[in-house]
Amino acid sequence: MEKYYPQQTIKRAVSCSGIGVHSGRETSITIKPAPENHGIRFRRIDLPGTSDIPALFSMVVDTSLATVLGSQGAIVSTIEHLMATFTGLAIDNALVEIDGYEMPIMDGSAREFTKILNLAGIVQQRIPRWFFVVTEPIAIKDNDKYVTVSPHSSFKISCSIHFDNPVIGTQELSFDLSPGNFTNEICHARTFGFIKDLQYLKMFHLGKGGSLDNAIVIDDNKVLNESGLRWPDEFVRHKLLDCLGDFALLGMPILGHIQTNKSGHDLNHRFIKQFLAMKESWETRPVALRDYKP
């Protein structure tokens, strides 16, 4: 009998807490196991009676500063790092309980989320995981920015960024997704920004929780963090992390090669909309273990 790549969840509940990068408020989350075909859902435990919010593209209500999900008056903001972790560790089903509207930023990366989920343990479930299997290329372009996907035997993602700044410049990274690769090479990469932008955000009562403890901060031609960078190309590694979080909102993993150039949350979500509309360019089905080795 053919064996298919199974759905997965975690063995036990795990929790963490921290401040939101924009609100500056402390929030706590608890991630719990969930049954097959549950998907990833968020529950606002500070708003009893509100419905769970599925982590799906159709639930996105804002992408201006972070990815925000919303349903029936309840929102959950800045979900991309946790969603990237679910993708990176191949976790299909989980319930995320949160006691506020913004996810904790932790150290600006997905390191803490990855740590607690690995400690929780990942367990295979009985039902096969379904994939979007790309059969024809799909692309969206906005001047020199673009996102494309083409057929591939596994999930591969390639990102390139360019900033007119000597600290960042042009960086490129290609990545074959597997739980081990994500844990070792991607989850530690922190969000980044320029000191002038952080000061601007705080003028408008945003970025209240942003600091050197949870972001790489750049001032002209230097990194202000005393510890420096975790990798010379940490910036593009974090961009790839954000992309994983955005594309997770398709609700199923992709069998294909995604390539992005200078993309952000908005372009990524426009790409998802186009992807879902081009049904002739992909099919959904389980994938045999012999055909896919993440």
Per-residue buried b or exposed e for 78-116, using 16+ beta carbons within 10 Å of the residue's own CB: bbbbbbbbbbbbbbbbbbbbbbbbbbbbbebbbbbbbbb
Task: Give whole-number Cα distances, 68 to 56, 249, 269, 273, 279, in Å.
Answer: 11, 11, 11, 16, 26
Give the DSSP letter string of 25-57: -EEEEEEEE--TT--EEEEETTSTTPPPEE-SG
Please give the helix or strand (H or E) that residue 246 lies within, else none. helix 234-247
CB-based contact 144:117 (threshold 8 Å):
no
CB-based contact 132:149 (threshold 8 Å):
no
Q: How does strand 6-10 pair with strand 130-134? A: unpaired
> How many other CB atoms sit within 10 Å of the CB of residue 56?
16
Q: Is 38 a catalytic residue?
A: no
Which amino acid, residue 14? V
CB-based contact 41:34 (threshold 8 Å):
yes
Long-range contacts of 276-279 (CB under 8 A, 24+ apart): 276/57, 276/250, 278/136, 278/138
Both ends of the chain: CA-CA distance in Å? 21
Strand order through the sheet with 74-77: 60-62, 68-71, 74-77
Active site members: 265
